[in-house]
Amino acid sequence: MIQMVKVWKAKETTLKIDASSAITITTSAAIDTEFTGSAITCNAKNITVTEPEGDVDKIDLLGSDTDGFQCAELDERPFGMAVLSGTLVLDSDEVLIGYEDTATTVDTNWSRYRIGDGGRVDVSALVNLTASTGEINLVLDNGTLTRVGDIRISGPDGHWEQDFNIKCLPEDFYLEIKD
């Protein structure tokens, strides 16, 4: 019997960012159900999720084993950070509210943000893949917005876009697959 494999498409993907506070992750419900209320669904492309990587180094020891190989051991290094990067397609929503804790209200109709004033806030980000055959959630909780890149137009007849990076500790990265 041949088993069919699901190939995920961009149209089956949703990116949500919640800058109001860290979400509460429990085992009573799927993680994507925690992204409600203040979570913003983003228009995005070029999304990359880098899972924490735990490298190892080789330590050479004196002597050789019975097969003539140099005696050696592996030294496990700590796992690195998880990273979510991508490009936001800019619209009228204030997607990356992580510039500072609060915006300055200007003339009651404007919100002003300043980058680099030390007022970073935690964000939680969800990449959700959903189709009739399954579902996958990739979550960075307690993440820090480390890069809000160049704001640029994608081409002469294109749209405005902006690159971003969010990083979190390995303990705050979740990969959840629906059985």
Amino acid occupying residue 67: D
The tens digit of pLDDT for each residue in 37-46 reads 778 888 888 8
43 close to 161: Cβ distance less than 8 angstroms: no
Find where tokens 């405005």 sit. Answer: 160
For range 158-178, the mean pLDDT = 90
Give percent above pLDDT 70 in the chain: 84
Residue 94 has pLDDT above 80, yes or no: no
Q: Which domains does the chain have, with CATH numbers?
A: 10-54+81-177 (2.30.110)
Q: Rounded distance, CA 137 to CA 135, Å?
A: 7
| Most confident residue range from 16-20, 27-31, 37-41, 146-150 | 27-31
Q: What is the pLDDT of residue 54?
A: 94
Query: How many other CB atoms are found less than 10 A from the CB of residue 12?
Result: 17
Write down the pTM of the prediction: 0.80
162 close to 85: Cβ distance less than 8 angstroms: no
Residue 89 has pLDDT above 50, yes or no: yes
85 close to 96: Cβ distance less than 8 angstroms: no
CA distances from 123 to 25, 76, 136, 153 (A): 14, 30, 20, 26
164 close to 96: Cβ distance less than 8 angstroms: yes
The tens digit of pLDDT for each residue in 97-155 reads 444 556 677 887 887 776 666 667 778 999 999 888 789 999 999 998 887 777 788 87
Q: What is the pLDDT of residue 98?
A: 45
The tens digit of pLDDT for each residue in 58-75 reads 999 999 999 999 999 999
162 close to 151: Cβ distance less than 8 angstroms: yes
Residue 173 has pLDDT above 60, yes or no: yes
Q: Rounded distance, CA 98 to CA 81, Å?
A: 19
For range 3-13, the mean pLDDT = 77
Give percent above pLDDT 90 in the chain: 35
Number of residues in the chain: 179
